Structure 1
Amino acid sequence: MKNKISYIMLYLGGCLFFLASCDLNKTPLATLSPDTYFSNEKELELYSNKFYPDILLTGPNIYSDNADAIIISPLNDAVSGQRMIPATGSGWSWDALRRVNYLLQNSHQTDDVTVRNQYNALAKFFRAYFYFEKLKRFGEVPWFNTVIESTDELLFKPRDSRSLIIDSIVRDLDYAIEHLPANKQVYRVNKWAALALKSRATLFEGTFRKYHSVADADNYLRLCVEASERLMDEGGYTLYRTGSTPYRDLFATTNITSQEVILARDYQESLNLLHNVQNYTNSSTTGRPGLSKTMVNSYLTSSGGRFTDLPNYQLKEFVEETQNRDPRLAQTIRTPGYTRINSTVRVAPNLSYSTTGYHLIKYTMGTAADPFDKSETDIPVFRIAEIYLNLAEAKAELDELTQADLDKSINLLRARVNMPGLNMLNANANPDPYLGSAETGYTNVSGTNKGVILEIRRERAVELAMEGHRYYDVMRWKAGKLFEKPMLGMYFAGLGNYDLDNNGSIDLCLYQGTRPSSPASLFLEVGTDIELTEGNKGNIIVHRNINRVFDENKDYLYPIPSEEINLSNDILVQNPNWK
């Protein structure tokens, strides 16, 4: 019986949830069963409400983007190279899937065919979402589309092929697209959210297959193009452009706009739905996230030129390097002149809150305190900007991209912040050597579209910063060696006083030895509180003492927990080269 324990617990957990989630006014708890439940729309709705918190990524999963573009402390084990095979857990959980399949198995109790199809479609959206997360993390996994009982032989099912998983995801999403309502409900799944997930999943699979040399990459890239274009043409979503800082304001709200956002997580203190982004970016105790120097260097100049083409760009200090840049830089991190929303007080980046000095402001609200786990900012799950990026990337990888495609996708993102558009011919004629470098970019991009693919990747990193995409973008592009590169922050020419917000007052004093007299608001001892690449000058260097090694032969997938393999009597096979 040993090899059935984890599955029995999964089964019992699903049963307990079913009892807890029912409308007890209809039938006494002791007699509740699928024969008397799932009989109308209200009951289907009540049961399916649990899918949202159980399966959708939460705020912390999204904003705590942890890879090479945003550096936190401590590093995630997958990024630091310290990952080991766990005994249990690590994302190998199937409880939520059982609840989805339970609805699909019992929804026939509802006589209204339209209602039944709609909630079957909702369940299939969430099953597709569930399995997409599993596919990204583990690759091949067992596909279950029925409720598994404690005596079922399927408990001992081996992993299914990658093709079966992704094709089943697409099939579920096609059903969801056909049967989900089309009206915009930013906190509820609709047909446009299903199209958005199809766009995201098929782009991932197509590019993963291309760069990892797996067959049929183009098939999934074309599915991405199809889903993206349909969503763009029929969904009615457009970029939010209100005010002077629309990119920043899109994320700094408790009532996110359905103009651009297709699906979001709703947070409200009155409902005890909260997360921690305010404290996460504005305290010294919850990660100290900061953009990396490589990421900051990737932002273009305001004229559309490459910052890394400027003479001595490596030696530019903070005030100088942040001038005349893509406005999204100043709407993502504190730059000179930054004030919090509803305040006129200029505040400098705080190096005690950011490992790199590039202090994040995305999702930051007004001037109130930033208490732990009290943030109410809505968190987008899908927005039309991502779909624009997906379309451009898929077409570029298919060698089918045109300037017209860029004008209806990437160049709309740039126009929102008054940046010049991307010219396909110019990009391909002169690919960016910084983005193509082994130290700071992607060496495996080639072909006639190399230049524009690199630019699309730049645009994706900039536009989707702190939205939970970066780690798996690096995985699908087979660029994991980026995690081994030095993790750098601001450049300082030497010890002394620094006015980081350029307002005439000293914000930071760097020193060695005896602390000097200074009007600075923050003192950091070099070598103790902060490390610089050249001793008493250079770039902030983070995690210098962690020997980060990315193993190309195994680290693109997570290992399956060892106890799960044991419980299956070794029917489950471990991912390659994990020992």
Structure 2
Amino acid sequence: MKRIYIALISLSSLFLLNCSDDYLDKNPISDVSEDSFFLTASDLELYTNSFYLLLPNSSSRNEIFTTDSQCGEIVHNTLSDLMTSSRIVPSSGGGWDWTNLRNINYFLENYEKCEDEAAKNRYGGVARFFRAYFYFGMVVNFGDVPWYDKTMEADDEDLYKARDDRQLVIDNILEDLDWAIANMGDEQYLYEVSKYTALALKSRIALFEGTFEKYHGISGHEKYLEAAVDASQELMDNSPYLLYGTGNPNTDYADLFRAETAETSEVILAREYTEPLTNGHRANYYTLTGSQGTPGMPKMVANSYLNADGSRFTDLADYNTIPFSQETANRDPRLSQTIRTSGYTRVGQSIELAPDLSFTITGYHLTKFVTGSNSDGINQNTNDLPVFRFAEILLNYAEAKTELGTITQDDLDKSIGLLRNRVGMPGLTLANANSNPDSYQEMFYPNVSGNNKGLLLEIRRERRVELYMEGHRWNDVRRWKAGQSITLPLRGIYLPGPGEYDLDGNGAIDTVIYEGELPAGQIEGAKYFQLGTDVELSAENLIDPLPGFNDRTFNEERDYFLPIPIQELQLNPNLTQNPNW
């Protein structure tokens, strides 16, 4: 964010670097007196700019993308600690960090010294948004956590209180967001928090909590689902947002994610990456080199994309043994706008490129967020990354209403129907979905039941497809209590043994799988991979990206939460550890 990052250079020296990492530190500011600060709109803006550091980023190791790899939605050549059940209780750290909260609470205790009412409403809303954002992350990771809405001295008894019930924390989160929604103006910002961003976060949090409580057996979940519907409905009916589209179903979805400046019609909040003020992100480098884990889409995700006529790909008897170029033909256009398929070209180029097994461990070669070749170096992507977009709101609305049992065909048409219409897909019919639930989707979500079972499965499919690679999947798995889904076999494309392959279907051999010695007289333009060394195949002749990790487990009584660090339990004897850690 150009303006924001400039402000952070000076702000960090005044506030952040003078704050201890310990929440107990009494003095957040040593260089600036609160009596001489918090007096103008500029003061409030300068301080709140630091809160944007809480948002996910995609520099370094691609935080946005690797969130999905944590649960196998993107496959790397190494698995996360979650996927290998190798997480341990840390001695310290481990995400139990309250520094950001103290900075936010300190602001909220002082910002009303400013006499500019409009500024107080705006930046008071920004601070409450980020307190809600911070606490949502803590609840998602740890469950019950202490609620603090003030800064404290070292002798404050509340520092040693027990964890508060998650519903109390969520209720306080929603109260903060409601304040922001009511008091912030109607201005629309792309890189800054607005009342619309607060509505989007409320929609996300309320849906998470409503479904988490339902599927984890906690009573009282309905009020959160209703809050998700209300927040989503408000954005759908009374905001400037809609789905981006130019009428081209074969490019509009892809263009949304490679736009240098995010499409303000759909993106509610974005991260801006602009040289030379900040490093870019590395979407290109991530997918086009062998040094970033060779990421790939797993076959179980690729299988979830419908056929272009709306029928289910996995209803085909041979869906696991169809050659790649045929498998990816005539499918939901979002598939060919997320991975390399026949006819794929780089932005600004005309050369067709096949999937490259050098850079993707599954053969499903990711292209989402990938731009032109001038951004192929480390951290050289400057296309914006969405943090909230309107498509998520439509999905939240449809899911919350379905979980409440109040969904209608009209609701589907103005939510899921719009998403499918953008890519030229048939809409979703309520009666048809419920009359014939998809057994393939049931494999991921065996605890879905009731009259709307088939529809819920379809909405979850839609969410997986539409939001793929945007960092939502692990939270979805947690709230749906679908942890066993991450133990399913990780597979890639179908390759029936050694041979010559035309993966992009253009009539030329582009991939050769060989055994033993590298063949003489190699085919020009083809890439060669040794079976058993470069590529492993399963018994079904699907790429087996990690053959040593096929027997994975997920502990339903432990793994949805992180453990509280040992040091924190020693410092506060009123804290209790999460179950089975």
TM over 0.5: yes
Which bracket does the TM-score occupy, shorter chain normalised? Answer: over 0.9
Q: Which amino acid aligns with 1:63?
A: F
How does 1:203-352 map onto structure 2 within 5 Å? 203-242=207-246, 244=248, 245-352=251-358
Match of 2:47 in 1: 47
Q: Are residue 380 (structure 1) and residue 386 (structure 2) matched?
A: yes
Distance in 2 between residues matched to 1:105 and 1:113, nearest whole Å? 16
How does 1:142-161 map onto structure 2 within 5 Å? 142-161=146-165
Q: Which amino acid aligns with 1:356?
A: T
The answer to whether the 8 A contact 1:486-1:544 is kept is: no
Q: Which amino acid aligns with 1:495?
A: P
Distance in 1 between residues matched to 2:415 and 2:408, nearest whole Å? 11
Out of 106, 113, 122, the position equivalent to 1:109 is 113
Cα displacement (A) at 1:181: 2.3
Distance in 1 between residues matched to 2:46 and 2:328, nearest whole Å? 50
Match of 1:510 in 2: 513
The answer to whether the 8 A contact 2:445-2:482 is kept is: yes
How does 1:449-464 map onto structure 2 within 5 Å? 449-464=452-467
Match of 1:525 in 2: 530
1:185–1:14 distance in 2 versus 1, CA, 3 Å: farther
The answer to whether the 8 A contact 2:287-2:359 is kept is: yes
For normalisation by structure 2, the TM-score amounts to: 0.93
Distance in 1 between residues matched to 2:544 and 2:27, nearest whole Å? 51
Deviations 1:251-302 (A, max 9, x none): 0022001100001111112212422221111111112211110000000000
Distance in 1 between residues matched to 2:546 and 2:383, nearest whole Å? 30
Match of 1:126 in 2: 130
How does 1:41-120 map onto structure 2 within 5 Å? 41-53=41-53, 55-59=54-58, 60-64=62-66, 65-66=68-69, 67-120=71-124
Q: Are residue 444 (structure 1) and residue 456 (structure 2) matched?
A: no
Match of 2:8 in 1: none
SS in 2 for 1:374: coil
SS in 1 for 2:104: helix
Deviations 1:492-548 (A, max 9, x none): 1121111112223222111111222331532211111221002xx700112221342
Q: Are residue 470 (structure 1) and residue 482 (structure 2) matched?
A: no
1:528–1:14 distance in 2 versus 1, CA, 3 Å: farther
Q: Which amino acid aligns with 1:525?
A: Q
Which residues of structure 2 form unaligned runs of 5+? 1-18
Match of 2:500 in 1: 497
Cα displacement (A) at 1:11: 4.8
Q: Which amino acid aligns with 1:462?
A: V
Distance in 2 between residues matched to 1:61 and 1:169, nearest whole Å? 24
Distance in 1 between residues matched to 2:529 and 2:399, nearest whole Å? 43
Distance in 2 between residues matched to 1:417 and 1:61, nearest whole Å? 28
Distance in 1 between residues matched to 2:275 and 2:505, nearest whole Å? 37
Cα displacement (A) at 1:36: 0.9
Identify the range of structure 1 (347-356 vs 541-550) with the bigger mean alpha-carbon deviation: 541-550
Cα displacement (A) at 1:12: 7.8
Deviations 1:306-362 (A, max 9, x none): 001123111101111001000000000000100011111111111111111101100
Distance in 1 between residues matched to 2:26 and 2:543, nearest whole Å? 49
Match of 2:191 in 1: 187
Match of 2:35 in 1: 35
Identity %: 48
Report how many aligned residue pairs link the two structures.
553
Q: Which amino acid aligns with 1:488?
A: R
Which residues of structure 1 form unaligned runs of 5+? 1-6, 20-28
SS in 2 for 1:348: coil
SS in 2 for 1:10: coil
Please report the RMSD computed on the Cα atoms of aligned residues, expressed in angstroms. Answer: 1.6
Distance in 1 between residues matched to 2:245 and 2:165, nearest whole Å? 44
